[in-house]
C-alpha cells in the first residue's frame, strides 16, 4: 500500500532544494565567506579550518555543505501590510461615526403625557436649536412598529394635543422627534397609555349650598368635572356626597347620579359642611372644596356673635345717655339756635292768653272784678182757705 506524501515534508524538500541551488550559485560566484538564504537573506559563515577544508575527521569528506536557516521575512511583511490596512479602515469608520454623531440633533427630553379630565396632551422639553420643529406620531399598542399615524407635524410648540384624535379606550404608544433643516433626532417613545385608565379626574365644579324654607334641610347643587357629551354612550358619572355637622366627627354619605341633592332632617341651629367626589369607570376624582351652610335662612349666631351683640348694645346705651344729658343741659341754647316752628295759634286761645288774669297767673295773683248780674223780681201770692192757717208770707226771690 502506497503512503500519501506529507505536504509539510514536500514543502521542506522544495525549500531545501532552493537553498542548495542558491548556495551553488553563490559558490560559483566566488562567495566563500558567506551566501544567501532561501528568501534572499545573506548567510554569514565562519571560515573553515584546514582540516575542515581537506575533509579530515569529518566523515563526509571535503565537499560537505552547511544548510542555511530559512527565515519568514516575506510573511512578516505581508502581516504588517495587512495590519496597516486594518488600521486605516478602523480610522475611516471612526471618522464616519463621528461625522454621523455631529449631524444628528439632540432628541427631545422629559417626554410626558398630561391627561386631566380626559384632556390628553403630550409635552416635552424644547431642543435648544434654532428653527427646530417637532413631529408626533401614535400607534396602537399591539400594532407593528412601522404602523404609526402622524398627529402633529412641523410644530414649533413643545406640546401636542391629541384629545380628539384618539378614542379614550385605545391603548396607544406615542413618539416625538425633532427636526432642523436636513437634520433629524432619534425618536423618543412613551410608555403605553390609555385615557380611560391613566387620566386624572378633577373635582366637581360650582358647589353651592342653599338653605330650605322649612329650616331643616339644605339643597346642594354642583356641576360634573367633565361633560357627559364626550363620554361613551354607556358611561355614567357617579357622585358621592359627604356631609357632617361642623365641629363633630360623625360623617354621613349619599350617592347619586344627579347633580342636585337634598339633605333632610337637619338641626336648624347647626352648621353643616359638604364635600363631593365624582367617579366614572374605575376612576375616582379629586375631592371638591368644603362648603358649609346653616339649614335655616337666619345666620347662625356664634359665641363671637353674642359678644359683639352685647358690646353693640352697651355702646348704643352710652350714646343715647350722652345725647339726652347734652340736650337737657343746653336745651335753651338749642332752642335759640333752632328756627321758630311755622305754627298759628287759634283765636280763642290767643284771647285767653291776652287776658290780664292769665298774664298775672305766674305771680299767683289775679284780681277778680265784680260782675253785675241782671235779674227780674217775681212775687208769689197764695189764697187763704177755710182752715186756720198762718199768715201768708210773701217771699221775694232774686233770680
pLDDT at 397 over 80: no
Domain assignments of the chain as residue spans, ordered by start: 109-198, 205-293
Asked if 36 contacts 43 with a C-beta cutoff of 8 angstroms, the reply is: yes
Q: pLDDT at position 166, please?
A: 86
pLDDT at 32 over 50: no
CA distances from 312 to 315, 316, 319 (A): 5, 6, 11
Lookup result for grid cell 475611516: 92
pLDDT at 12 over 70: no
| Topology classification of domain 109-198 | Immunoglobulin-like (2.60.40)
Average pLDDT on 262-285 reads 92
Closest by CA to 273, choosing from 291, 255, 287, is 291
3-state secondary structure of 391: coil
pLDDT class for 278, splitting at 50, 70, 90? very high
Q: Is 40 left (phi over 0), alpha (psi -120 to 50) or beta?
A: left
pLDDT at 243 over 90: yes
Same fold, 109-198 and 205-293: yes
Q: pLDDT at position 51, please?
A: 39
pLDDT class for 218, splitting at 50, 70, 90? very high
pLDDT in tens, 289-333: 999 998 876 555 667 878 888 999 999 999 999 888 888 888 778
Closest by CA to 185, choosing from 281, 101, 80, 273, is 101
Which of 36 and 352 is assigned the larger pLDDT?
352
Predicted structure pTM score: 0.49
Asked if 63 contacts 55 with a C-beta cutoff of 8 angstroms, the reply is: yes
Q: What is the DSSP letter of 350?
A: H
Give the C-alpha separation, 291 to 209, whole Å: 7
| Helix spans in 111-247 (H) | 195-198
Number of Cβ within a 10 Å radius of residue 223: 13
pLDDT class for 248, splitting at 50, 70, 90? confident
pLDDT at 46 over 60: no
DSSP string, 196-211: HHH-B----EEEEEEE
pLDDT in tens, 350-391: 777 777 666 655 555 455 555 566 666 777 666 655 544 444
pLDDT in tens, 85-101: 788 778 766 665 554 44
pLDDT at 22 over 60: no
Q: pLDDT at position 395, please?
A: 46
Which of 221 and 282 is assigned the larger pLDDT?
221
Q: pLDDT at position 390, please?
A: 47
Which of 36 and 372 is assigned the larger pLDDT?
372
DSSP string, 52-103: HHHTTTSSS-TT--PPPPP--HHHHHHHHHHHHHHHHHHHHHHHHHHHHHHH
The cell numbers describing 265, all together, are: 332632617
pLDDT in tens, 125-147: 999 999 999 999 999 988 877 78
| Helix spans in the chain (H) | 7-28, 50-54, 73-103, 195-198, 303-329, 331-337, 347-354, 356-359
pLDDT in tens, 161-184: 999 888 888 999 999 999 999 999
Give the C-alpha separation, 249 to 124, whole Å: 45
| Topology classification of domain 205-293 | Immunoglobulin-like (2.60.40)
Give the C-alpha separation, 109 to 124, whole Å: 6
Average pLDDT on 74-91 reads 77
Amino acid at each position: 500500500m502506497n503512503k500519501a506524501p506529507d505536504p509539510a515534508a514536500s514543502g521542506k524538500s522544495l525549500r531545501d532544494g532552493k537553498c542548495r541551488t542558491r548556495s551553488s550559485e553563490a559558490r560559483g560566484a566566488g562567495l566563500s565567506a558567506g551566501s544567501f538564504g532561501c528568501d534572499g537573506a545573506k548567510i554569514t559563515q565562519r571560515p573553515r579550518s584546514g582540516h575542515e577544508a581537506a575533509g579530515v575527521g569529518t566523515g563526509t569528506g571535503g565537499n560537505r555543505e552547511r544548510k542555511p536557516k530559512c527565515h519568514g521575512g516575506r510573511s512578516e511583511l505581508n502581516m504588517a501590510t495587512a495590519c496597516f490596512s486594518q488600521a486605516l479602515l478602523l480610522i475611516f469608520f471612526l471618522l464616519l461615526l463621528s461625522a454621523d454623531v455631529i449631524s444628528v440633533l439632540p432628541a427631545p427630553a422629559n417626554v410626558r403625557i398630561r391627561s386631566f379630565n380626559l384632556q390628553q396632551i403630550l409635552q416635552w422639553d424644547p431642543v435648544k436649536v434654532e428653527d427646530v420643529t417637532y413631529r408626533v406620531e401614535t400607534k396602537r399598542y399591539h400594532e407593528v412598529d412601522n404602523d404609526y399615524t402622524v398627529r402633529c407635524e412641523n410644530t414649533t410648540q413643545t406640546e401636542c394635543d391629541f384629545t380628539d384624535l384618539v378614542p379614550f379606550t385605545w391603548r396607544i404608544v406615542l413618539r416625538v422627534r425633532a427636526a432642523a433643516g436636513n437634520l433629524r433626532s432619534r425618536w423618543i417613545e412613551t410608555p403605553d397609555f390609555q385615557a380611560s385608565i391613566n387620566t386624572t379626574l378633577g373635582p366637581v365644579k360650582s358647589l353651592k349650598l342653599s338653605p330650605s324654607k322649612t329650616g331643616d334641610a339644605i339643597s346642594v347643587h354642583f356641576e360634573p368635572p367633565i361633560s357627559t357629551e364626550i363620554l361613551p354612550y354607556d358611561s355614567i358619572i357617579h357622585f358621592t356626597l359627604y356631609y357632617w355637622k361642623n365641629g363633630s366627627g360623625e360623617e354621613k354619605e349619599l350617592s347619586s347620579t344627579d347633580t342636585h341633592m337634598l339633605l333632610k332632617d337637619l338641626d336648624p341651629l347647626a352648621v353643616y359642611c359638604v364635600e363631593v367626589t365624582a367617579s366614572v369607570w374605575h376612576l375616582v376624582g379629586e375631592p371638591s372644596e368644603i362648603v358649609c351652610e346653616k339649614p335655616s335662612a337666619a345666620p347662625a349666631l356664634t359665641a363671637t356673635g353674642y359678644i359683639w351683640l352685647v358690646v353693640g348694645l352697651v355702646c348704643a346705651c352710652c350714646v343715647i345717655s350722652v345725647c339726652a344729658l347734652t340736650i337737657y343741659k343746653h336745651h335753651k341754647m338749642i332752642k335759640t339756635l333752632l328756627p321758630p316752628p311755622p305754627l298759628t295759634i287759634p283765636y280763642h286761645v290767643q284771647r285767653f292768653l291776652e287776658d290780664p288774669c292769665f298774664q298775672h297767673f305766674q305771680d299767683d295773683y289775679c284780681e277778680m272784678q265784680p260782675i253785675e248780674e241782671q235779674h227780674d223780681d217775681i212775687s208769689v201770692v197764695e189764697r187763704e182757705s177755710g182752715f186756720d192757717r198762718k199768715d201768708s208770707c210773701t217771699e221775694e226771690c232774686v233770680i
